[in-house]
Amino acid sequence: MDMLARSVQPWTKTNQFGGYMRFATVEIAGRAEPGLVSPDGQGFAPARAFVPGFTGDLVDLIARGPVPAPVGSVAWQSLAGLPLLAPIPAPRRNIFCVGKNYHEHAAEFANSGFDTSAAKGETAPEFPVVFTKPPSSVVADGAAVLPFAELTQQLDYEAELAVVIGRPGRGISRADALAHVWGYTIVNDITARDLQQRHRQWFLGKSMDSFCPMGPWIVTADEVGDPATLDVRCWVNGELRQQANTRDLIFDIPTIIATISAGITLLPGDIIATGTPAGVGIGFKPPKFLRPGDVMKIAIDKLGTLTNTVAA
Ligand code: MG
């Protein structure tokens, strides 16, 4: 047994939900266990260890409202030996996504010839472009992305900041929006460009199994602070492809939440991917599409890294 498996650390901070920093989901004895990641990132404590009688997933935990903070100290087990799942491995419904939400990316997409959704000559959208990916597309940090070679020859990556909703609501104002956010994570909005173009909508080309890598965990909103200050970077096989900051979003997170919730009740555990910056594969001439074996690594300030490999 290593040192961490027996280490005990004080419970030092709480937020409005009583949580601390990072929530992950791991596999223990064949079942998905949501819980806390220790401050040093090396330990894990299942939620059932500090929420009496709790047996649900992370969405259930979020939906309970305030999580009772452990009294005294937490016994961490080593995270290293536990298979990491997506923080929300089985979302209750589709992941909301925003397209063309950074100016330079909107321009590269418009100029790529792959965008069949834009009005002629339009680069930046006038209103948020919203689509969804199904729960079955979600995979964990470290999981393989399936290449679907029989369906697509134009596989692409999109590094994105994702918002996780805590407090439910409809008709949420921009001013109130961030109070509904429970935390943030990283999403890779994998896209088959040929399907996106051919079918003249975005669902099919972005929704295949494994096309929504997510994680490695959710960092609570209080720990992230202002979400409009985060550097987003993406490497493919070590080559830096995307580099931007969330301050450059065309439609900021409050606007996105206000737009979606105008007529749709947002629920605890809903996930919203906020769009990708410039530097996706179709932004290059010639395009740099993904190939089997390619390693995609996304880093966002305060959220860690999400790494996935295209399966052979
Ligand atoms: Mg996207």
For residues 223 and 298, state if they share a domain.
yes
Q: How far is the CA of 9 from the centre of ligand 1 (A)?
A: 38
Q: In angstroms, what is the span from residue 4 Cα to ligand 1's centroid?
A: 37
What's the confidence (pLDDT) of residue 8?
A: 39
Average pLDDT over residues 144-173: 97
Same domain, 185 and 273: yes
Q: Tell me the residue range of the domain where 75 lies.
A: 3-85
Instruction: Select the more confidently predicted residue: 250 or 120.
Output: 250
Residues 257 and 238: their CA atoms lie apart, in Å, by 34
Q: Tell how far the Cα of 209 is from the centroid of ligand 1, in angstroms.
A: 16
Is the pLDDT at 4 greater than 50? The verdict is no
- Kindly state whether residue 211 falls inside one of the protein's structural domains: yes
| Distance (Å) from CA 277 to ligand 1 centroid | 9
Residue 3 has what pLDDT?
Answer: 37
Residue 220 has pLDDT above 50, yes or no: yes
- Does residue 174 fall inside a structural domain? yes
Q: Are residues 69 and 99 in the same domain?
A: no
In a domain, 108, yes or no: yes
Examine the fold and report which residue of 85, 112, 129 is the final residue of a domain before the chain moves on.
85
**Domain co-membership, 69 together with 123:** no
Q: Ligand 1 centre from 296 Cα, in Å?
A: 15
Q: Which range, of 117-121, 228-232, 257-261, averages the lowest pLDDT?
A: 117-121
Measured between alpha carbons, how far is residue 54 from residues 46, 62, 266 in Å?
A: 10, 12, 24
| End-of-domain residue from the set 67, 85, 103 | 85
CA of 99 to the centre of ligand 1 (A): 5
Mean pLDDT of the chain: 89
User: Given the DSSP bridges, would you call strands 22-28 and 31-37 parallel, antiparallel or unpaired?
Assistant: antiparallel
pLDDT of residue 134: 98
**Domain termination site, one of 27, 60, 85:** 85
Q: Residue 84's pLDDT is what? A: 97
| Judgement on whether residues 274 and 141 belong to the same structural domain of the protein | yes
Q: Tell me whether residue 90 is in a domain.
A: no
Phi, psi of 209 (to 5 degrees): -55, 135
Answer yes or no: is pLDDT of 6 > 80: no
Contacts of 229 (CB under 8 A, 6+ apart): 245, 246, 247, 301
174-203 pLDDT tens trace: 999 999 999 999 999 999 999 999 998 899
The predicted-structure confidence for 289-304, as pLDDT tens digits, reads as follows 999 999 999 999 999 9
Q: Which two tokens stand for residue 197?
A: 């173009």
- Proportion of the chain in helix, strand, coil states, percent, rounded to 5: 20, 35, 45
Q: In this model, does residue 150 exceed pLDDT 80?
A: yes
pLDDT band at 70; cut points 50, 70, 90: low
DSSP character at residue 229: G
Per-residue confidence (pLDDT) for residue 97, from 0 to 100 = 98
Place of tokens 């009740």: 265
Do residues 153 and 265 both lie within one domain?
A: yes
Statement to judge: residues 68 and 208 lie in one domain: no
**Is pLDDT larger for residue 109 or for residue 244?**
244
189 Cα to the center of ligand 1, angstroms: 5
158 CA distance to ligand 1 middle (Å):
6
Distance 199 CA to ligand 1 centre (A): 17
Q: Do 172 and 279 share a domain, yes or no?
A: yes
Give distance in angstroms: CA of 38 to centre of ligand 1: 30
User: For residue 213, what is the domain's CATH number?
Assistant: 3.90.850.10
pLDDT, position 69 = 58
Grade residue 2 by pLDDT with cuts at 50, 70 and 90.
Answer: very low
Give a yes or no: residue 69 inside a domain: yes
- Ligand 1 geometric centre to CA of 87 (Å): 19
Expressed in angstroms and rounded, the spacing between residue 176 Cα and the centre of ligand 1 is 25
Same domain, 52 and 177: no
Beta strands in 68-147 (DSSP E): 73-75, 77-78, 84-85, 95-99, 129-133, 138-139, 144-145
Going from the C-alpha of 143 to that of each of 177, 188, 281, 296, the distances in angstroms are 32, 12, 21, 11
**115 CA → ligand 1 middle, Å:** 13
- Whole-number Å distance between alpha carbons of 240 and 253: 25
CA–centroid distance, 177 to ligand 1, in Å, is 21
Q: How many CB atoms lie within 10 A of CB 266?
A: 22
pLDDT digits (tens, 9 = 90+) for 237-285: 999 999 999 999 999 999 999 999 999 999 999 999 999 999 999 999 9
Type and span of the H or E element at 234: strand 231-236
- Report the domain count for the chain: 2
Has residue 11 got a pLDDT over 50? no
